Amino acid sequence: MFPEIIDTRPLRRAVDDSLNWVVRNWGGAFEAAAHPLLMLLKSIENLLIATPWWLIIAILVGIAWLSTRNWKLPAVVFVALLFLGVMDLWNDAMTTMALMIAATLTAIVISIPVGVWMSRSLNVRKAITPILDLMQTLPSFVYLIPTVMIFGPGKIPALIATIVYASPPLVRLTDLGLRSVDPAVMEASRAFGTNPRQRLLGVQIPLALPTILAGVNQTTMMALSMVVIASMIGAGGLGYQVLQGIGRLEVSRGLFAGLGIVALAIIFDRVTQSFGKQLQARIGLAEAR
Amino acid sequence: MNATDTLPNKTVAAPATAPAITPDRDLAIAMRGVTKIFGDDPQNALSLLQSGRSKSEVQAETNHVVGLDNVSLDIAKGQIFVVMGLSGSGKSTLIRHVNRLIEPTAGEIIVNGKDVLKMSLDELRTYRRTQVAMVFQKFGLMPHRSVIDNVAYGLEVRGVDTKTRLREAAKWIEIVGLSGYEQSQPRQLSGGQQQRVGLARALAMDTDIILMDEAFSALDPLIRSGMQDQLIELQKSLGKTILFITHDFDEALKIGDRIAVLKDGALQQEGKPEDIVLRPANEHIEEFVREVNKARAIHVRSIMDRGEFDPCEASVSKDSRCEDVLPMFAEHQWVGVLDADGHQIGRITLKQVIKALARYTPQPAETPPTLG
């Protein structure tokens, strides 16, 4: 036994009490603050569900074609979407897709500026890196429960948990991408009298875009991997079907809903990757790496 | 021609506290006592250096690297000024001080009469946008922009409208011989072509001063020679001040109006190419000179007897070099040297040429001419 050096019970109690205090006094304020997030998620979800299935298939297949300019990826996307429809998972898939898209959009808005900030200052990087590590490794239930206590079960805590889990790779890859821009190019830009904003928007971000897009790809994948946990607190969607399958020992339900998540993952992974490759080829990094 | 041009040879032993610069209209760039020390606490290392320690002693004691050690240079307008040195001699550090990509630890830098180090960030940007352009060893082209957008980059930063800057860019692309490549991506071009883009990008800025940091070092010999010829041509027609960095002594001799030699961050010698070839200031420079084709480096005018002589049967212009005059000695004892108008300004003998080409051994009795 490790000897008891200090009594940790007061500390634990303090943490628990302060959370309760926050829930009692600030719960409403937090909920109001998170309302825009909920609106974003709701409107995406409503839009996806209201759109006829054939139009969604057409749009996604079209995007897939744009990203590769050949028929293979569009065919894969088509089959994956058909699977979701045939297996009676369409509406659940749209709910899950909405959660993923809302989380990814929010993550992009938050992570890219943070990544830019990190790339500018060593101290900021030193401060933020451990936070990112924490966000990625802390078991999600640990922060899921306080969020549920504050916001109540439903879509908001699910979305927040997904954002917390899915943002770090985008922050890291934005930082990495910006820092690995060829110093010779940056110096040339400086020598021509650019200000920091011109360098960021005109040189760094365009050249780091393939790396940033790889981060977006990672974020979508991690957001999808959170759907089962998110559905435990009321996110619904494919994750909920998996949960029900487990609960009722209906292997088939869990299996098909699980495969549905995989189908979504394949669609978004391949499409974002292809866009990344296209960009890389355009700025000529494909050969250099 | 100006005062610095007639200064034949200057062995540098600059005092620790260099005198302040008095603005000189003919000077494009003036540096006084510029010292750069890389490290966290440069002031401490600086005082050690100023108390007479060497670069390696300072490095051993403080772990600070001396980039430049009390360098003073006068670069007159309209000339190609070459700074030569081996890698690690501080020449790339030196050129980056002119547009303040690197801040000096001590010293003064005056460009076109303005103190670069006293500029605010905003003034510095304006200065970079309008007065100095730079060409880089590794080209520094933007891989996501087409050739024409790369050439127009400096003008874009300056705020020139799209139509004007594309017209200017197209003009300079044609001058450097890249017509037809306007819409290509830089990676589709060869190294030589990419450096032409870099050169066009600097020239399109139409600044009085162009900084060239080992601009031709990454190119293969034939292309390099072609680029050197083109640079000399351009300089003749445009009259720019070009500060050119190289590690190649032959290149320095070919394009330089004046040459400064750096070693360990300190200036070793500064002068006209033939002064350095004929009177190397120390062993380090002598080593370079030994490898050089002196017959090509030395002009006849710098070794001839000046004065009134009877007209010689054979004659050459004052711009010719020893290798041009050598074959004439098969038939003639004296060869006359003519100025641009065809008047004989002096004569030269085989003995003088041989003496100039022979290996230099320092003679203690010889005192270098003083600043007049």
- The CA-to-CA distance between both ends of chain A, in Å, stands at 53
DSSP category for residue B214: S
Cross-chain residue pair B157–A193, CB shorter than 8 Å = yes
Per residue in B173-223, pLDDT tens?
998 888 999 999 898 898 888 988 999 999 999 899 999 998 888 888 888
Q: Does A287 touch chain B (CB under 8 A)?
A: yes
Q: Does B138 touch chain A (CB under 8 A)?
A: yes
Query: What is the pLDDT, as a whole number, of residue B244?
Result: 93
Q: Does B134 touch chain A (CB under 8 A)?
A: yes
CA–CA dist B59, B65 (Å, integer): 6
Q: Does B103 touch chain A (CB under 8 A)?
A: no
Domains recognised in chain B with CATH numbers: 3-23+77-99+115-131+207-292 (3.40.50.300), 297-357 (3.90.1280.20)
Cross-chain residue pair B144–A188, CB shorter than 8 Å = no
Cβ contacts of B157 on chain A, cutoff 8 Å: 192-194, 198
Q: What b-and-e string marks burial along A34-50, b requiring 16 or more CB atoms within 10 Å of the CB? A: beebbebbeebbeebee
Name the minimum distance, in Å, from the CA of A206 to any CA of chain B. Answer: 7
Name the minimum distance, in Å, from the CA of A188 to any CA of chain B. Answer: 5
Q: Does A187 touch chain B (CB under 8 A)?
A: yes
- Residues composing chain A: 289
Please determine, for residue B370, whether its predicted confidence score (pLDDT) is greater than 70. Answer: no
Query: Is the separation of the CB atoms in A206 and A280 below 8 Å?
Result: no
pLDDT band for B369, please (50, 70, 90 cuts).
low
CA–CA dist A184, B195 (Å, integer): 13
Is residue A243 a part of any domain in this protein? yes
Q: How many domains does chain A have?
A: 1
Q: Does B141 touch chain A (CB under 8 A)?
A: yes
Q: Does B288 touch chain A (CB under 8 A)?
A: no
Query: Is the separation of the CB atoms in B94 and B72 below 8 Å?
Result: no
Query: What is the pLDDT, as a whole number, of residue A57?
Result: 94
Name the minimum distance, in Å, from the CA of A190 to any CA of chain B. Answer: 8
Is residue A48 a part of any domain in this protein? yes
- Closest alpha carbon within chain B to A207: B144
Containing domain of residue A63, as a range? 35-288
Q: Does B215 touch chain A (CB under 8 A)?
A: no
Cross-chain residue pair A187–B101, CB shorter than 8 Å = yes
CATH code, A164: 1.10.3720.10
Name the minimum distance, in Å, from the CA of A108 to any CA of chain B. Answer: 23
Please determine, for residue B306, whether its predicted confidence score (pLDDT) is greater than 90. Answer: no
Query: What is the pLDDT, as a whole number, of residue B14?
Result: 43
Query: Is the separation of the CB atoms in B268 and B89 below 8 Å?
Result: no
Q: Does A207 touch chain B (CB under 8 A)?
A: yes
Cross-chain residue pair A188–B134, CB shorter than 8 Å = yes
Angle at A21 between CA A17 and CA A23, to 5 degrees: 115
Per residue in B17-71, pLDDT tens?
444 545 556 788 999 989 998 888 888 888 888 888 888 888 888 888 888 888 9
Q: How many CB atoms sit inside 10 A of residue A251's CB? A: 10
Angle (deg, nearest 10), helices B191-204 and B162-175: 130
Closest C-alpha to B70, from B27, B43, B44, B31: B31
Cβ contacts of A190 on chain B, cutoff 8 Å: 101, 128
Cross-chain residue pair B129–A187, CB shorter than 8 Å = no
Cβ contacts of B129 on chain A, cutoff 8 Å: 192-193
Q: What are the C-alpha distances in Å from A270 to residues A71, A72, A264, A285?
A: 13, 11, 10, 19
Q: Does B355 touch chain A (CB under 8 A)?
A: no
Query: Interface pTM (ipTM) of the complex?
Result: 0.78
Is residue A263 a part of any domain in this protein? yes
- Closest alpha carbon within chain B to A195: B125
B187 class by beta-carbon count within 10 Å (0-12 exposed, 13-18 middle, 19+ buried) = middle
Q: Which of residues 251-270 of A touch B (CB under 8 A)?
A: none
Of A194, A198, A207, the CB nearest to B143: A207
Is residue A242 a part of any domain in this protein? yes
User: Mean pLDDT across the stretch B82-93?
Assistant: 89
Query: Is the separation of the CB atoms in B107 and B33 below 8 Å?
Result: yes
Q: Does A188 touch chain B (CB under 8 A)?
A: yes
- Closest alpha carbon within chain A to B98: A191
Is residue A1 a part of any domain in this protein? no
Q: What is the residue-level pLDDT of chain A in tens, covering all 289 positions?
A: 888 888 889 999 999 999 889 888 888 888 888 889 999 999 999 999 999 999 999 999 999 999 888 899 999 999 999 999 999 999 999 999 999 999 999 999 999 999 999 999 999 999 999 999 998 888 888 888 888 888 888 888 899 989 999 999 999 999 999 999 999 999 999 999 999 999 999 999 999 999 999 999 999 999 998 888 888 888 888 999 999 998 999 999 999 999 999 999 999 999 999 988 888 887 765 444 3
Cross-chain residue pair B128–A188, CB shorter than 8 Å = no
Please determine, for residue B368, whether its predicted confidence score (pLDDT) is greater than 70. Answer: no
Q: Does B125 touch chain A (CB under 8 A)?
A: yes
Of B130, B134, B142, the CB nearest to A191: B134
Please determine, for residue B3, whether its predicted confidence score (pLDDT) is greater than 60. Answer: no
Per residue in B226-259, pLDDT tens?
888 888 888 888 888 999 999 988 888 888 889 9
Cross-chain residue pair A193–B143, CB shorter than 8 Å = no
Query: What is the pLDDT, as a whole number, of residue B11?
Result: 44
User: Mean pLDDT across the stretch B270-298?
Assistant: 83
Cβ contacts of B141 on chain A, cutoff 8 Å: 185, 188
Query: What is the pLDDT, as a whole number, of residue A285?
Result: 54
Cross-chain residue pair A284–B187, CB shorter than 8 Å = yes
Q: Does A139 touch chain B (CB under 8 A)?
A: no
Query: What is the pLDDT, as a whole number, of residue B16?
Result: 44
Name the minimum distance, in Å, from the CA of A211 to any CA of chain B. Answer: 14
pLDDT band for B360, please (50, 70, 90 cuts).
low
Please determine, for residue B78, whether its predicted confidence score (pLDDT) is greater than 50. Answer: yes
